[in-house]
Amino acid sequence: NAGVTQTPKFQVLKTGQSMTLQCAQDMNHEYMSWYRQDPGMGLRLIHYSVGAGITDQGEVPNGYNVSRSTTEDFPLRLLSAAPSQTSVYFCASAHRSGTGGDTQYFGPGTRLTVL
Amino acid sequence: AQSVTQLDSQVPVFEEAPVELRCNYSSSVSVYLFWYVQYPNQGLQLLLKYLSGSTLVKGINGFEAEFNKSQTSFHLRKPSVHISDTAEYFCAVSVKTGANNLFFGTGTRLTVIP
């Protein structure tokens, strides 16, 4: 199993450009999520999904879109990049046990710089 | 709303010495508690979690944590650290009736000195 994979590893954008960060998992997990990690702030939830066709907002959703057309993939779209979106982005997935407290498995991250 | 406070942003410790990384949380609803570790330039991996039962939880790599409900704390401990334990450690909570979403503290950077 590859686990959770993310592409690209690094990306530099200019202000106003759009792009999609890719995330895929091969564990048949129902739950997937996107976090951003900024120095001194820990990780903050951007968007999440509890199954194909179902998405919802996290703590910091502004400027990002997501969709979940398959169980495996959960892409994150930046519509018009801003310097404030410079960050490291992590995708994670988990099996939903129904009782909560499920372990999330994280991808290796995408380091994004917006100039 | 939930919040997680990690009181120490950096903890230097000599090799083979014990270490404690502190975590306090606040929540109006019941939560599960987690510790994740991030090695340099990698993603996060689960160290341990508290769901219910015994308040002393053992995790990977010799780490353990104790849940204290009255003090709303979940401190992480290791009796003897190794160079390879140098990493960033994150405490997190998730709501028991929620979707698995994690609320993280700001992290503690543990540096083990030879």
- Alpha-carbon gap, residue B114 to B100, rounded angstroms: 38
| Res. B97: pLDDT tops 90 | no
Q: What are phi and psi of B85, to 5 degrees?
A: -85, -5
Average pLDDT of the residues in A12-25 = 97
Of residues A31, A92, A108, nearest to B99 (C-beta): A31
Give me the helices (H) in chain B, please: none
Whether A104 sits inside 8 A of B45 (CB atoms) is no
End-to-end CA distance of chain A: 36
Which pLDDT score is estimated for A22? 98
Q: Tell me: pLDDT of A99 over 90.
A: no
Q: How sure is the predictor about A78, in pLDDT bands with cuts at 50, 70 and 90? A: very high
CA distance B21 to B66: 11
Contacts of B29 (CB under 8 A, 6+ apart): B2, B95, B96, B97
User: Quick one: pLDDT band at residue A96, thresholds 50, 70, 90?
Assistant: confident
- For the segment A86-114, the average pLDDT, to the nearest whole number, is 93
pLDDT the model gives residue B1? 83
The answer on pLDDT for B98 being more than 80 is no
Q: Residues 6 or more apart from A104 whose CB is under 8 A from it?
A: A31, A33, A92, A93, A94, B46, B100, B102
User: What is chain B's mean pLDDT, rounded?
Assistant: 95
User: What DSSP line would sit under A58-107, residue for residue?
Assistant: -S--TTEEE--SSSSB--EEESS--GGG-EEEEEEEE---SSS-PPPEE-
**CA angle, B89 as apex, A102 and B21 as ends, to 5°?**
110
The pLDDT of residue A69: 97
Q: What is the DSSP string of B62-77?
A: G-EEEEETTTTEEEEE
Confidence of residue B8 (pLDDT cuts 50, 70, 90): very high
Give mean pLDDT, residues B62-66: 97
Residues 35..74 of A with a Cβ closer than 8 Å to B: which? 35, 40-45, 48, 50, 56, 58-59
Ranges assigned E (strand) in B2-114? 2-5, 10-14, 19-21, 24-27, 31-38, 44-50, 56-58, 64-68, 73-78, 87-95, 103-104, 108-113
pLDDT of B106 over the 90 cut = yes
Mean pLDDT in chain A?
Answer: 95
Task: Give the residue from B48, B102, B103 with the most A CB atoms within 10 Å of its CB, the best one to mutate.
Answer: B102
Does the beta-carbon distance from A42 to B90 stay under 8 Å?
A: yes
Determine the pLDDT at residue A97: 83
pLDDT for B99 equals: 83
CA distances from A102 to A1, A62, A82 (A): 19, 27, 33
Average of pLDDT values for B90-94? 96
> For the segment A20-58, what is each residue's pLDDT rounded down to a tens digit?
999 999 999 999 999 999 988 899 999 999 999 999 999
Tokens of B110: 């543990």
Q: How far is CA A54 from CA A31, A77, A100, B41, in A?
A: 10, 16, 18, 31
Which residue did the predictor score with more confidence, A66 or B100?
A66
Average pLDDT over residues B13-24: 98
Confidence of residue A2 (pLDDT cuts 50, 70, 90): confident
In chain A, residues with a C-beta closer than 8 Å to the C-beta of B103 are 45, 59
